[in-house]
Structure 1
Amino acid sequence: MPVSIQSVIGGEAQAYRALADSVSSTLRVALPGIIQSFDPDTVTCVVQPAIKGSRRDASDQPVSLSLPLLVDVPVVFPRGGGCTITFPVQKGDECLVIFSDRCIDFWWQNGGVQEPVDPRQHDLSDAFALVGPQSQKEKISNISTEALQIRTDEGQAFIELRQSGEVNITSTLLTVNGNLQVNGEIASTGDQVAKGVSQLGHVHGGIQSGSSYTKGPQ
C-alpha cells in the first residue's frame, strides 16, 4: 500500500520536533538555584536548580523532573585589580547559575587559556553561581534609591556612598585596625577616650597660679 505524502510530511515533522525537543531540553543557559553548601577553601558551592526539567514518557507526553545537584560550582565574587568583594554564602541563599559554552574543567584547575577536555556544550557540569538574585519570597526591602549601599539584609548596618560625595556609616560598632589619618576637621557629639582617658571627663593635676603648664590629663 503506498504511503501518502501527508503521512511522510507528518512523520518528518514529528521527527524534527523530537530532535528539536531533545536539543532544547539538554541545552543549558541560565537557571535560578538555591545554595546547598559553600566551600570557602575552593570557592565553590553545591547548588540545587530551582526550576525543574522535563522529559517525554513512553506516550510522548512531557514529564516534570527535578534536575540533579550541581557540585563544584565556582562562586563568582566581584573581583579585579588585586581587590575582591566577598560576603558569606550560606545554605538557602538564592543564586543565578549560568552554564559555559564549553567544558571548563582544565580552566578551573589551571587558569589561563585551555583546551576543553570534553566536547560537551552548555552542560550542567559547567556552571558558575552568581549569588544575589531574589525571589519575591526572599527579597530585601527598603532599598535606597539615592545612594550606593553595602548593607545587611535587614538594613540595620550599612556603608553608604552618595552622589554628593558624602559617605555615611551606620553600625553598632565601627572598628579600625591600623593608623588613622584625617585631613580635615572632626566633629563629635560624644566623648573620645584615649588609653582609658576621657576627653570630656578627665582632670589635670599640678594646677597652680602663674605661668606654669598643667600636667597631662588623668
Structure 2
Amino acid sequence: MNSELVSRIKETAQKAAEDIHTAVPGKIVSYDPAKGQATVKPVMKYTTKGGNILDYPQITGVPVVFQQHMGQKATIGFPVKPGDGCLLVISEQSLDYWMYGQETGTNLKFDLTNAICIPGLFAPANSVVAEACEQDAIIADVSGTRLTIKSDGLIQADCKKFVINASDSFKVNAGRIDLN
C-alpha cells in the first residue's frame, strides 16, 4: 500500500510539473524599441488532453534584455529583427509590479505571459562567436564591418569608413594609422 501511495504522489507531482514553464526557445515576431518589448513565438509544441499536438501561441508585451548598467547610462544596443532567436525565461511571479509599478491583481505563476526575452539564441552556432573564442577576443561584427578587441591590447577595426567624434583634443599614443 505504501508503494502505491508513493507511486500516486509521484504521478501527481509529475503531472503538475509538466505545466510549469521555466525557459523555452523562441523567435522574435516583432520588436518595439520605444517600449523595449517584443512579440515572441515560443518554438515548441504542446499536447492537448485530446492528444492533439499544437504550436504555442505568440506572446505579446515581452520585455527584452539588453546589457544596461549605471542606471542605463552604459548600454550595449543592437538591432532586434523578426526571425531572431531568443530564450524566453518564464517568471515565477507576475511581472506587473516590475513593469508598471503597481499590482494588477494577476496571480499567474510560471505562465508564458510572464516571459522575459533574451535575444541571441540561435542554432547552429555563429562563426563570429567561434572566432572570438579562438582569438580570446571580443568581436562586434555587423555584416562584415568589424571591431575586434584582443586580450593583448590590440583593437582592430575593419570597415569602409572610420569616424571619431571627440569633444576634446584627440591623441594617438604609440599607435599607428594606416590609410589606403
For 1:18-59, what per-residue CA distance to the aligned partner results, in whole angstroms no more than 9, with x for missing partners? Answer: 6632x22321100000000000110000000001122222xx
Q: Which amino acid is the alignment partner of residue 86 of structure 2?
A: C
- Moved beyond 4 Å, runs of 4+: 12-16
| Equivalent residue, structure 1, for 2:92 | 101
Q: Which amino acid is the alignment partner of residue 20 of structure 1?
A: Q
Rg bigger for which structure?
1
Secondary structure of 2:138 counterpart: strand
Matched, 1:83 2:74: yes
From the superposition, tell whether residues 120 and 45 of structure 1 become closer, same or farther in structure 2 (CA, over 3 Å): same
Report if the CA contact (8 A) 2:96-2:103 is conserved: no
Q: How high is the sequence identity, in percent, across the aligned residues?
A: 23
Which ranges in structure 1 are unaligned for 5 or more consecutive residues?
A: 192-218
How far apart in 2 are the matches of 1:49 and 1:87?
A: 22
Q: Which amino acid is the alignment partner of residue 100 of structure 1?
A: S
From the superposition, tell whether residues 162 and 105 of structure 1 become closer, same or farther in structure 2 (CA, over 3 Å): same
The alignment's TM-score, normalised by the length of structure 2, stands at 0.83
For 1:53-97, what per-residue CA distance to the aligned partner results, in whole angstroms no more than 9, with x for missing partners? Answer: 22222xxxx432111111000000011122111100000000000
Q: Which amino acid is the alignment partner of residue 132 of structure 1?
A: G
RMSD over equivalenced CA pairs, Å = 2.5
In proportion to residue count, which structure has more helix? 2
From the superposition, tell whether residues 16 and 169 of structure 1 become closer, same or farther in structure 2 (CA, over 3 Å): same
Secondary structure of 1:125 counterpart: helix
The alignment's TM-score, normalised by the length of structure 1, stands at 0.69
Q: Which amino acid is the alignment partner of residue 73 of structure 1?
A: V
Which ranges in structure 2 are unaligned for 5 or more consecutive residues?
A: none
User: Which structure ranks higher in relative contact order (CA pairs < 8 Å, sequence separation ≥ 6)?
Assistant: 2
Number of positions where the alignment pairs a residue of Structure 1 with one of Structure 2? 171
